Structure 1
Amino acid sequence: MKKYFVAGFIVITFVTIWFYTRHPLGMKAIINGQPIRLELALTSSEKERGLGYRDALASDSGMLFVYQNKDRYGFWMKGMRFPLDFIWIDGNRVVELSEHIAAPATDASRPVEVSPHVPVDKILEVNADVIQKLGVRVGDIIQFID
């Protein structure tokens, strides 16, 4: 009996891990009716690494950086291997857009830096051209869903 319990527990554990690696729990953002799956950058180390050193980002995904206080947070493209769009957010409102920020050349001594002109408390990084494809404009409201 104990053997079946252990075997069943192992099977359930593997199925659960398999399922959640393919369907992770997380937030979504709705922008102009289109869902974007979000990876959250909440800790200092998550914010520092960001999307750096990855080869790609899924076309329906983005990384959301969340801050407690509003400020003009600067981002650098260190370790980036693909271009990004930045959606600068105050509360739930888009306040600024930075489009098609190129990944630095591999021999660049100083990475590209980007920052907003106004204070924000959230920054959404998405693949380059997502702003244009979704028709994102300053003043748009982003709905965040758990």
Structure 2
Amino acid sequence: MELQGQRFAVEVADDNEERARGLMFRDAMDDDRGMLFIHDNEMNLAYWMKNTKIPLDILYFDANRRLVSQQRDVPPCSLGNACPPYPSTAPARYVLELNAGQAAKLGLKDGTELTFGPGIPPAP
């Protein structure tokens, strides 16, 4: 997967179980890695950091794979169900989680296109 000329190897979470687990309980993630969440429909989404140990940038993309909302430098949360949500400000179908700071490093702006590689399945 490519974003703003930078390639990332991503794990794909495209079912309810994988999306719910996300990046929970991981101690670290390489800078060239991430997780791509694929939803069945475009809608307003909110992600949280329950049991997530690493700070993340949460990037929301619409059905055309255009960046529509960003939650940067989201801190880890160990408060269980009391962890706050980080919502999209527009309907999204894809969510990309990268290490915190990557969005700033890439200078991401709304409208930036996410390019899928051959290993990423099309959305249902």
**TM value normalised by structure 2:** 0.88
Q: What is the DSSP-based 3-state SS (H/G/I as helix, E as strand, rest coil) of the residue aligned with 2:90?
A: coil
Q: How does 1:24-103 map to 2 (within 5 A)?
A: 29-90=1-62, 91-103=64-76
Q: Which amino acid aligns with 1:61?
A: R
* Cα distance change of structure 1 residues 46 and 107 upon mapping to structure 2, 3 Å threshold: closer
In our comparison, the structure showing a higher alpha carbon Rg is 1
Q: Relative CO higher for 1 or 2, CA cutoff 8 Å, sep ≥ 6?
A: 2
**Separation in 1, partners of 2:91, 2:29:** 26
Does the 8 Å contact 2:68/2:89 carry over to 1?
Answer: no
Q: Which amino acid aligns with 2:93?
A: D
Q: What is the DSSP-based 3-state SS (H/G/I as helix, E as strand, rest coil) of the residue aligned with 1:79?
A: coil
Stretch moving more, 70-79 or 123-132: 70-79
**TM value normalised by structure 1:** 0.76
Which runs of no fewer than 5 residues in structure 1 stay unpaired? 1-28
**Separation in 2, partners of 1:34, 1:138:** 16
State the identity as a percent. Answer: 31
In structure 2, what is the equivalent of residue 11 of structure 1?
Answer: none
Deviation at 1:97, TM superposition (A): 1.1
Cα deviation per residue 1:23-62 (whole Å; 9 max; x = unaligned)?
A: xxxxxx2111110111000111100000011111111011
Does the 8 Å contact 1:74/1:115 carry over to 2?
Answer: yes
Q: What is the DSSP-based 3-state SS (H/G/I as helix, E as strand, rest coil) of the residue aligned with 1:145?
A: coil
Q: Which amino acid aligns with 1:32?
A: Q
In structure 1, what is the equivalent of residue 121 of structure 2?
Answer: none
**Separation in 2, partners of 1:89, 1:48:** 18
Does the 8 Å contact 1:85/1:126 carry over to 2?
Answer: yes
**Separation in 2, partners of 1:122, 1:142:** 9
Deviation at 1:107, TM superposition (A): 5.2
**Separation in 1, partners of 2:75, 2:113:** 26
Q: Which amino acid aligns with 1:47?
A: R
Which runs of no fewer than 5 residues in structure 2 stay unpaired? 119-124
| Equivalences, count | 117
Comparing both structures, which one devotes a greater share of its residues to helix?
A: 1
The list of structure 1 runs, each at least 4 consecutive aligned residues, that deviate by more than 6 angstroms after superposition, is: none
